[in-house]
């Protein structure tokens, strides 16, 4: 099934008719500049029914962030056993900051994966002492700019094997 917004295809969903499906995507400002979003689901074949809510979240850009992003997910924190990790801004345009606090002497790895589970970038591996900021500029292993979309960051304590997964949204 294809999703068209204002007559332009913006996404496609392959689904099992007996399982719920979610499509998350960034809608460019041009589609809602008139305050109206016309969403049309177009089937490839067969019958279908679309039942359920459509959630639309608006992310504001901060005035002092140089277009870096902002909104309700602008700064999200996760906790590991011996400290905290904060991600900001989220969504991000050029750089995502990952701030470690209280991780004295722990070794960590940070890896970014796309929605298909493919490794995009080994962002960092090494020791974290007290407080440290690691930045990801949205690039892949070859230094190319990754496309806009949802990425999953896996932060793992290499000593305890404890890990967390954080979603990050890269926008253009």
Please state which of the ranges 18-22, 141-145, 150-154 shows the lowest mean pLDDT: 18-22
| Range name among 11-20, 72-81, 139-148 with the lowest pLDDT average | 72-81
Assess if residue 89 is contained within a domain. yes
| Number of domains present in the structure of the chain | 2
Are 87 and 138 within one domain? yes
User: 111 and 162, same structural domain?
Assistant: yes
Task: Identify whether 9 is part of a domain.
Answer: yes
Residue 32 clears pLDDT 50, i.e. is over it = yes
pLDDT band at 77 (very low <50, low <70, confident <90, very high): very low
Residue 135 forms part of a structural domain: yes
Q: Decide if 166 is inside a domain.
A: yes
The answer to whether residue 63 is domain-embedded is no
Same domain assignment for residues 81 and 15: no
- Note the pLDDT of residue 124: 92
Does 10 share its domain with 86? no
Domain extent at residue 10:
2-42
H, E, C per residue of 2-60: EEEECCEEEEECCCCCCCCCCCCCCCCHHHCCCCCCCEEEECCCCCCCCCCCCCCCCCC
Question: Residue 159 has what pLDDT?
Answer: 84
Reply yes or no on whether the pLDDT at 140 is more than 80: yes
Position 70 scores a pLDDT of 44
**Claim to verify: residue 82 and residue 138 sit in the same structural domain:** yes
The reply to whether 148 falls in a domain is: yes
Report yes or no on 7 lying in a domain.
yes
**Residues sharing a CB contact under 8 Å with residue 89, sequence separation 6 or more, in sequence order:** 62, 65, 68, 69, 70, 74, 75, 96, 97
């Amino acid at each position: 099934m294809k999703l068209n917004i204002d007559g332009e295809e913006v996404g496609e969903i392959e689904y099992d008719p007996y399982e719920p499906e979610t499509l998350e995507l960034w809608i460019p400002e041009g589609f809602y500049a008139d305050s109206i979003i016309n969403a049309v689901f177009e089937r490839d074949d067969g019958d279908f029914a679309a039942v359920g809510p459509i959630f639309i979240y608006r992310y504001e850009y901060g005035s002092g962030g140089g277009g870096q992003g902002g909104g309700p997910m602008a700064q999200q924190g996760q906790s590991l056993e011996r400290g905290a990790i904060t991600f900001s801004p989220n969504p991000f345009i050029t750089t995502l900051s990952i701030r470690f606090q209280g991780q004295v002497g722990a070794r960590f790895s940070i890896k970014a994966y796309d929605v298909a589970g493919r490794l995009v970038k080994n962002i960092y591996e090494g020791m974290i002492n007290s407080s440290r900021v690691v930045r990801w500029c949205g690039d892949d292993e070859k230094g190319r700019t990754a496309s806009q979309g949802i990425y999953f960051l896996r932060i793992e304590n290499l000593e305890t094997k404890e890990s967390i997964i954080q979603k990050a949204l890269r926008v253009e």
